[in-house]
Amino acid sequence: MPKVPASKGKARVPSNSGVKKSKVVSEKPKKTSVALAEEAPAPLLIGGKVDASQVLKACKALAAYTERRLSAKQNELPLGGSDSLGASKDTDNTVWMQITVKQLDTKRQVKPARIALVHPLLDHDASVCLLTKDPQREYKDLLMEKNITLVNRVVGVEKLKGKFRPFDARRQLVRDHDLFLADERIVPMLPKLCGSVFYKDRKFPIPVDLTKKKHLAETIERAVASTYYMQNKGSCSTIKVGFLNRHSPDELVENIAEALPAVVARIPGKWSNVQNIEIKTGKSAALPVWNCRLSEDQGDDVRWTREDPEPEAPEPKTKRVRTEKA
C-alpha cells in the first residue's frame, strides 16, 4: 500500500461545517421603575402646587358634561340656542374656579381685586354699564369725545336712587348688562345703592379711575378684559375664568394658570391658608384639582399642623376656713 505523506507543520483540525456557531449575547441591564420615573418629564405645576394636567382633565370633563346637558334640553332653550342667552347670563357655560380657605378673613372688602387673564372673558359684543357721579351727562360726553364704544349705558347716582330704586327695576338693569363698571369715588356707596341683586348675580360693579381722562380708553379696555376676585363672608370664593362656548379646555387652563397665583397672593396666609381648589360651572358639581394633605406634619400643604400641647397649670389649693361655733 502506498504510504501517505506526513504533513509538515501543525495538524489540521477538521472543521465542522454543519455545526452553527453560537452567538454571545451581552445582557443589558433592565431599567427599573425608579430609572423610568427619573426619565419621565416633571408635571407642569400651576403656582408650584396644582398639576396642570389635572386641571385640563377637569375642564374637558365639564365641557363633555355641559354638551350632554345642553343637547338634552334643546327644546327648552330660546330660538337662538345657548348663545342667545348671552355670555355671562348662561350659567351652563360659565366656568368658575372655587377656592376654599381654612381660616376666614375678618376684614370686610368692598373693592374687588382685578386679575389679568390670557384670554379675555368678554368681547366687544358684551353689554357694559358704567355707574358714575352726577351729572351723568358729563361722562356721556366724555365717552363720545374719546370715541369709547365699549360702554353701552351710563347711569348716575341720582338715577340709582330714583328710577332704579325699586327691586324690579334694579333686577332688570342687572339682567340687561354683562358687566358693570363704577367710578372709584362712589364705590363706598354702592352696597347700599345697588342692593343684594348685583352681588347675588355676581355682577358687583368694578371700580375704575375716571379722573385720568388721558388713559380712560385703556382703563376701560383693561377692566373689561380681566376677571375679579373678592373674598366673601364664607370660606369659599369663586372666580370666573372663562366660558365653555367661547374658550377651549387648553385656553381655560391658561387662564387658570394666570389667575391662580394672583388670587392666592391676595389670600391672608397665601398657600398655607388654602384648603382645596375646584373647577365648576353654574350647573355642575365642583371637580377637585388640588387638596391639602390631611396630616399633622408641618408645612403649607397640610390641613392641621402639629402643635405642642401646653403644660397644664396646677390647680390652686383652696384653704379651708374653720368656722367657730357660737
Q: What is the per-residue pLDDT for 37? A: 44
133 and 196 assigned to the same domain:
yes
Identify whether residues 257 and 112 lie together within a single domain.
yes
* Residues 145 and 260 placed together within one structural domain of the fold: no
3-state secondary structure the chain: CCCCCCCCCCCCCCCCCCCCCCCCCCCCCCCCHHHHHHHCCCCCEECCCEEHHHHHHHHHHHHHHHHHHHHHCHHHCCCCCHHHHCCCCCCCCEEEEEEEECCCCCCCCCCCEEECCCCCCCCCCCCEEEEECCCHHHHHHHHHHCCCCCCCEEEEHHHHHCCCCCHHHHHHHHHHCCEEEEEHHHHHHHHHHHCHHHHHCCCCCEEECCCCHHHHHHHHHHHHHCEEECCCCCCEEEEEEEECCCCCHHHHHHHHHHHHHHHHCCCCCHHHHEEEEEEEECCCCCEEEEECECCCCCCCCECCCCCCCCCCCCCCCCCCCCCCCC
Output the pLDDT for position 258: 93
The pLDDT value given to residue 36: 46
Give domain status of residue 141, yes or no.
yes
Phi (first) and psi of residue 249, to 5 degrees:
-55, -35
Instruction: Mark 250-285 as b/e (b = at least 16 C-beta within 10 Å).
Output: ebbbbbbbbbbbbbbeebeeebebbebbbbbbeebe
Whether residues 174 and 59 share a domain: the answer is no
- Supply the range of the domain harboring residue 60: 43-75+90-121+226-298
| pLDDT of 55 | 93
Spatial contact of 60 and 151, defined as CB atoms under 8 Å apart: no
Predicted pLDDT at 108: 66
Q: Are 96 and 152 found together in one domain?
A: no
- Residue at 128 is within a domain: yes
CATH of the domain at 166: 3.40.50.790
Residues 214 and 292 in one domain: no
Residue 232: its pLDDT value, please? 77
Residues 230 and 258 placed together within one structural domain of the fold: yes
Question: Residue 89 is which amino acid?
Answer: K
- pLDDT tens, 41-79? 667 888 888 999 999 999 999 999 988 887 877 655 454
Backbone φ and ψ of 199, nearest 5°: -80, -25
pLDDT of residue 121: 86
Q: Examine residue 12 and state whether it is found in any structural domain, yes or no.
A: no
On whether both 112 and 155 belong to a single domain, the answer is no
CB 121 within 8 A of CB 259: no
Q: What is the CATH number of the domain that holds 256?
A: 3.30.190.20
Taking the alpha carbons of 11, 17, 19, 20 in that order, is the dihedral positive or negative? positive
Q: Is residue 195 part of a domain?
A: yes
Q: What pLDDT, in 10s, does the model give residues 212-254? A: 888 888 888 888 888 988 877 788 889 999 998 889 999 999 9
- Single residue among 178, 201, 225 that ends a domain in this structure: 225
CA dist 174 and 235 (Å) reads 26
Task: Phi first, then psi: give them for residue 60, nearest 5 degrees.
Answer: -65, -40
Pick out the chain residues at pLDDT < 50. 7-11, 13, 19, 24-25, 34, 36-37, 77, 79-88, 306, 308-309
Burial of 288 (C-beta count, 10 Å sphere; 0-12/13-18/19+): middle
Asked if residue 24 belongs to a domain, the reply is no
Q: Does residue 196 sit in the same domain as residue 50?
A: no
pLDDT at 274: 92
**Predicted pLDDT at 40:** 52
Q: Chain-centre distance of CA 80, in angstroms?
A: 30
Domain check: are 287 and 237 in the same one? yes
Closest CA to 88 of 128, 148, 135: 128
Which of 225, 245, 278 is at the close of a domain? Answer: 225
Q: Is residue 140 domain-shared with residue 211, that is, in the same domain?
A: yes
* The total number of structural domains that make up the chain: 2
**Rounded to the nearest 5°, which phi and psi values hold at 195?**
80, -175
